[in-house]
């Protein structure tokens, strides 16, 4: 490590030894202007970090640390298409997927903007045809149900966004429904195949690599289901009428049988967990229309521009990333809970789990040496009000320090003005907002938020000092959601720079897949040997075999 970095770390840690002894209640008591000083607004997002355990001096140290790690240089590398994903020898250009059509983006010989917009137009043609009821199944029936088969980044992003933007669904003449199937055991698919009609159901096989076993087995089950219904002789028209492929590997789609005109492509330089902006977002466009999808891209693009140009002190992804570093490496807080106070964002914690933990859950630096400081915290969450009735007990009175991200829209149900229960729903939203603010206040202040806390027994007391950030969205719509997701993407990148890890690879998930294949041979009785495995796995295998034989 260079001296400049080491010096900044030393200064930050020395500063931290003082700040870590302070209580958030004191900060708020001492400075009524704390919120005014410690929140920032960009577009539809207000980021309040006044309930984080830090001072203005902390921000200065964090900015110096970012500079010592050449954050500016790394941002430039990211946005100029350099191979920032060094272990895989490629760039990470998810940001290019949301460039407006007139933006210039040339990397080597490639005109990236035109490639991106060509695919977007192809996707638009397909979406319009399906939505208009012009895409027919093999027997001529209109397609009414589209099932996205994918997993990880080829599932979580589109699933999360289609649910979040349900209110923005654009009606179609036939009443189009979009579904998701990801689990390798076929649970979701089996339910869908039971309920849907083969004649009017189509499948989108989404897989960057087109080699993921989870996705390929679900896809093959879907194909067999259709073949059983239509007969094997109809194979060509089944593939042509009922399957679309989305992948960065066109020849693998062709090998599988996806017709060329049904193939939507993207590129190796789009990481799976960063891919919802590409044709992987097809289910989103099917649901909210291509116009809505473009608003999602626009929100993310504006966040990209903000990230590239705003000074660190006002730069949302930089502040968020560096405050995360502060929590992890100085305050020793290794858990982050994502708490949306809006039921439409139920999938958001799951999506962020992959985004953050698959990106920065690393312990080897870019140069191959082990890291010397903690990296990505453990991330989990749920819809906040529901989680209040589940795991908040630990947040308030457990022994673990946890930091929370509260995410809530200010306006809700504007579109429901004519709803029969409009007034009641508006009141429910107020209740949700009140709960959100109450929880972050109590977590921060503890007993200081209560009247006469001294008189309460210890089991009714609150330690407080659990830091949190609050993200207020003007409202949840395609544009604000695009900006929110891009904010977290860039936050993850900022942290990767400080931790000196590559956030765009995921080697840790590879070996388990290989061991699964050799274990499958044992489960299926094709390989009877158990000596090459451990006693736990061997014992479980014997038990499974005995149960099947009984």
**Active centre residues (catalytic):** 358, 389, 513
Question: Strand, helix or coil at 203?
Answer: strand
Binding to ligand F6P (CB under 6 A): which residues in 122-151? Answer: 151
The token pair at 421 is: 């229960």
Alpha carbon separation from 503 to 41, 325, 338, 348, 371 (Å, rounded): 27, 15, 20, 19, 14
What is the smallest separation between the CB atom of 278 and ligand F6P, expressed in angstroms? 11
Tell me the C-alpha distance between 128 and 112, whole Å: 24
Binding letters toward ligand F6P, positions 448-487, x by CB under 6 A: ----------------------------------------
| Partner residues linked to 107 by β-bridges | 110
Binding letters toward ligand F6P, positions 354-373, x by CB under 6 A: ----x---------------
What is the smallest separation between the CB atom of 279 and ligand F6P, expressed in angstroms? 12
What is the smallest separation between the CB atom of 489 and ligand F6P, expressed in angstroms? 14
Judged by CB, which is closer to ligand F6P: 88, or 167? 88
Binding letters toward ligand F6P, positions 380-399, x by CB under 6 A: --------------------
Binding letters toward ligand F6P, positions 148-177, x by CB under 6 A: ---xxxx-----------------------
Tell me the C-alpha distance between 191 and 177, whole Å: 15
Binding to ligand F6P (CB under 6 A): which residues in 505-524? Answer: 506, 509
Inter-residue long-range contacts of 418-425, CB under 8 Å, 24+ positions, other chains counted: none
Judged by CB, which is closer to ligand F6P: 351, or 462? 351
Binding to ligand F6P (CB under 6 A): which residues in 201-230? Answer: 207-209, 212, 215
What is the smallest separation between the CB atom of 181 and ligand F6P, expressed in angstroms? 13
* Helix, strand, coil percentages in the chain from 3-state DSSP, rounded to 5: 55, 15, 30
Residue 7: CB atoms within 10 Å: 13
What is the smallest separation between the CB atom of 358 and ligand F6P, expressed in angstroms? 6
What is the smallest separation between the CB atom of 85 and ligand F6P, expressed in angstroms? 12
Give the position of tokens 């931790």.
499
Give residues with Cβ within 8 angstroms of 362, minimum separation 6. Answer: 371, 375, 376, 499, 501, 502, 503, 508
Judged by CB, which is closer to ligand F6P: 373, or 513? 513
Give residues with Cβ within 8 angstroms of 398, minimum separation 6. Answer: none
Give residues with Cβ within 8 angstroms of 312, minimum separation 6. Answer: 63, 66, 71, 318, 319, 322
The binder of ligand F6P chosen from 44, 137, 265, 272 (CB under 6 A): 272
What is the smallest separation between the CB atom of 338 and ligand F6P, expressed in angstroms? 19
Judged by CB, which is closer to ligand F6P: 512, or 525? 512
> Which DSSP letter does residue 341 get?
S
What is the smallest separation between the CB atom of 124 and ligand F6P, expressed in angstroms? 22
The binder of ligand F6P chosen from 61, 273, 295, 522 (CB under 6 A): 273
Judged by CB, which is closer to ligand F6P: 393, or 518? 518
Assess 85 for contact with ligand F6P (CB under 6 A): no
Helix (H) / strand (E) element for 264: namely strand 263-265
CA torsion, points 476, 480, 481, 483, in degrees to nearest 10? -160
Judged by CB, which is closer to ligand F6P: 279, or 290? 279
Tell me the C-alpha distance between 222 and 243, whole Å: 10
Q: Quick check: 324 and 376 in contact, CB under 8 A?
A: no
Q: In 350-504, which ranges are E strands?
A: 378-381, 403-411, 468-475
Judged by CB, which is closer to ligand F6P: 154, or 477? 154
Judged by CB, which is closer to ligand F6P: 176, or 357? 357
The token pair at 534 is: 């451990």
Tell me the C-alpha distance between 333 and 372, whole Å: 16
Binding letters toward ligand F6P, positions 232-271, x by CB under 6 A: ----------------------------------------
In the complex, which residues of this chain contact ligand F6P (CB under 6 A)? 151-154, 207-209, 212, 215, 272-273, 358, 506, 509
């Amino acid at each position: 490590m260079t001296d400049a970095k080491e010096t900044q770390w030393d200064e930050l840690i020395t500063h931290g030894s003082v700040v870590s002894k302070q209580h958030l209640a004191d900060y708020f008591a001492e400075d009524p202007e704390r919120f005014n000083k410690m929140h920032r607004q960009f577009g539809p997002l207000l980021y309040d970090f006044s309930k984080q355990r830090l001072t203005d001096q902390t921000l200065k140290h964090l900015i110096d640390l970012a500079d010592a790690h050449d954050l500016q240089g790394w941002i430039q590398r990211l946005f100029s298409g350099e191979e920032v994903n060094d272990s895989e020898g490629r760039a990470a250009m998810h940001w290019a997927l949301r460039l407006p059509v007139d933006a210039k983006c040339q990397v080597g010989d490639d005109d990236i903007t035109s490639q991106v917009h060509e695919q977007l137009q192809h996707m638009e043609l397909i979406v319009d045809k399906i939505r208009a009821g012009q895409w027919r199944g093999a027997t001529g029936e209109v397609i009414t149900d589209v099932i996205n088969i994918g997993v990880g980044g080829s599932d979580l992003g589109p699933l999360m966004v289609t649910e979040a933007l349900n209110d923005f669904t654009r009606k179609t003449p036939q009443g189009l429904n979009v579904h998701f199937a990801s689990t390798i055991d076929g649970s979701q698919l089996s339910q869908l195949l039971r309920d849907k009609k083969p004649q009017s159901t189509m499948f989108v096989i989404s897989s960057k690599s087109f080699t993921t076993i989870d996705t390929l087995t679900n896809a093959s089950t879907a194909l067999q289901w259709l073949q059983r219904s239509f007969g094997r002789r109809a194979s060509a028209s089944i593939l042509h009428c009922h399957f679309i492929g989305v992948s960065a590997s066109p020849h693998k789609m062709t090998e599988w049988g996806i017709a060329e005109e049904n193939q939507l492509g993207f590129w190796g330089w789009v990481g799976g967990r960063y891919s919802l902006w590409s044709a992987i977002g097809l289910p989103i466009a099917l649901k909210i229309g291509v116009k809505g999808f473009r608003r999602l891209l626009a929100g993310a693009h504006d966040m990209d521009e903000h990230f590239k140009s705003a000074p660190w002190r006002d730069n949302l992804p930089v502040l968020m990333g560096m405050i995360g570093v502060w929590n992890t490496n100085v305050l020793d807080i290794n858990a982050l809970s994502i708490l949306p106070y809006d039921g439409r964002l139920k999938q958001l914690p799951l999506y962020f789990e992959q985004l953050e933990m698959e990106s920065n859950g690393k312990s080897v630096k870019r140069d191959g040496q082990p890291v010397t400081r903690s990296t990505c915290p453990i991330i989990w969450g749920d819809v906040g009000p529901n989680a209040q009735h589940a795991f908040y007990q630990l947040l308030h009175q457990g022994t673990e320090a946890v930091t929370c991200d509260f995410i809530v829209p200010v306006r809700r149900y504007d579109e429901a003005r004519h709803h029969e229960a409009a007034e009641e729903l508006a009141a429910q939203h107020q209740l949700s907002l009140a709960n959100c603010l109450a929880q972050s206040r109590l977590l921060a202040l503890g007993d200081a938020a209560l009247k006469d806390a001294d008189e309460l027994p210890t089991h009714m007391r609150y330690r407080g000092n659990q830091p949190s950030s609050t993200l207020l969205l003007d409202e949840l719509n395609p544009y604000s959601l695009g900006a929110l997701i891009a904010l977290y993407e860039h936050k993850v990148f900022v942290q990767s720079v400080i931790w000196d890890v590559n956030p765009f690879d995921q080697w840790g998930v590879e070996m388990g897949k290989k061991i699964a294949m050799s274990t499958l041979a044992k489960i299926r009785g094709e390989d009877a040997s158990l000596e090459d495995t451990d006693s736990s796995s061997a014992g479980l295998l014997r038990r499974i075999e005995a149960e099947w034989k009984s």
